[in-house]
A and B are shown apart, each in its own frame.
Chain A
C-alpha cells in the first residue's frame, strides 16, 4: 500500500514534466480545450481537465501558446489554442532533449 502511494507520487512527478511537451506537440493546429483533451486521450495521454486548463494558461503566459475566443460551427463560444513561434522553437529543443533522454533511459533500463 505504501509502495503504491510512492509509485503514484513518482508517476505524477514524471508525468508533470512530460505533459507540457505533449500539449505543445498537439497544438500545431488550433484546438479548443476539450478537443485537445480528447486528442491527448486518443493518443494514450490521459489528462485531467482541471490539470489541462491551468497548464494551457501557464504555457500561454510564458508565450509558448496563443489563444482567442471564437464561435465556430456551433453556437457555443470556445477558446482556441495554438502553438506560438516561440513555442515551436522551445518544442524543437524539448523534442531533441526528450529523444536523447529516452535513448539514455532505454540503455539504462534495458
Chain B
C-alpha cells in the first residue's frame, strides 16, 4: 500500500459513509493528476519519488481537514437554532440550580449546619448539582442536535422566517403595570388581613362528630404572635399596589421596592413557618375533638403543610425577584436613542 492509498484511507475515516467511496475516488484521481503533472515538470520518468508524494500530500492538507470540507453539518447545533437552544438551556439550568438549592435547604434543616451529616449533605448536594446540570445540558443538546438534522429545525426556521411585525402589537410591554394583578393582590391581601384580625375562627377544620358540629382551629397563638408583623406587611402591600395602580408604569425605584418587599415577605413567612407549634391541628387536638381513626393521618398531613408552603414561597419569591431584577438591569432608557445620552 503506497502513501496515497494510506492518505485516502485516512481521509475516508472522517467522511460520511454515504459518499465515502465517491469522494475517495475523486481525491485519488486528483492526487494522481497532480502527481503526474509534477513528475512531468521535473523531467523524471516513471513513478514519482517519495519526497514528491510527501510534498503533494502536505500541500493537499491533513486528512481530517480535507474530510471536514465535505461535511454538511460541521456543528452540533447550527446558528438558526442556537438562540432558542441558549434560551432553553438558561431556563432549565436555572431551574435545576434553584431546585437543587431548595433541596439543600430542606436537607440542612434536618442535618443542621455542623457535623459529619452536614459535610456529607454538602458533598451529596454538590455531586447531584453537577450531575443534574451536566445531564440537563446533555439532554437539551441532544434534542437540539436531533432537531438540527430533522424537519423540526426546518419547521422552526420557517416559523421564524414567517414572522410578522404586526405580532409586536400583541407583545406585552414589560414596563406596563398589570392592573388586574395589582387589584387582585389588594383585594386578597385586604381579605386576608380582615380574616386573621377579625375572624380568626374561620381558619379552622370543621366536621360533624356524633351529630355535633366540631371545629379545630388551624392556627395557634404562636402564629398570632406574628400578627403585628403580618399587618405591617399586608398594609405595605396594599399601599404599594395602590400606588402602582396610579403609576401605570414600572420604574427602577418601584422595582427595587417590589424586590425588597418580596424578600421581606418571604423572610417573614419563613420565620413564621419555622416556628414550632403554629398549627393547631395536632393528633391530640383532633382526638380531643372526637376524631379517632384519622387523627394521626390528618395531623401528619397538616405537619407537611409548613414544608410545602415554605418550598412554594421560596420558589415563587426567587422567580419573582429574579424576574424583577432582570427587568431592573434591562431597564430601558426614556430616550429612544439612549446612546446619545452618554
Contacts and interface: CB of A to CB of B under 8 A. Distances in A.
A24 B284 CA distance: 91
B105 to A, nearest CB: 51
A79 B60 contact: no
B27 interface: yes
B33 interface: yes
A78 B29 contact: yes
B115 interface: no
A81 B23 CA distance: 14
B66 interface: yes
A49 B23 CA distance: 13
B61 interface: yes
Nearest to A54: B69
Contact of A76 (B32, B60, B69, B70): B32
Contacts of A32: 29, 33
A28 to B, nearest CB: 21
Given A50-B61, A50-B69, A34 B34 contact: yes
Interface string B54-97: 00000011000110011000000000000000000000000000
B40 to A, nearest CB: 13
A51 interface: yes
Given A50-B60, A57-B70, A77 B30 contact: no
Nearest to A74: B36
Contacts of B249: none
A49 B59 CA distance: 10
Q: Chain B interface: which size bin?
A: 10 to 19
Interface string B5-36: 00000000000000100010111011011100
Contacts of B27: 53
Nearest to B69: A54
A74 to B, nearest CB: 9
Nearest to A78: B29
A50 B25 contact: no
Interface in A52-88: 53-54, 57, 69, 76-79
A50 B56 CA distance: 13
A50 B65 contact: yes
A49 B30 contact: yes
B110 to A, nearest CB: 59
Interface in A20-50: 32-34, 49-50
A78 B36 CA distance: 14
A84 B29 CA distance: 23
Which 3 residue pairs across A and B have the least CB separation, nearest first? A34-B33, A54-B69, A54-B70
Given A33-B30, A54-B69, 17 more contacts: A33-B29, A34-B33, A34-B34, A49-B30, A49-B34, A50-B60, A50-B66, A50-B69, A53-B23, A53-B27, A53-B70, A57-B19, A57-B23, A69-B25, A77-B25, A78-B33, A79-B25
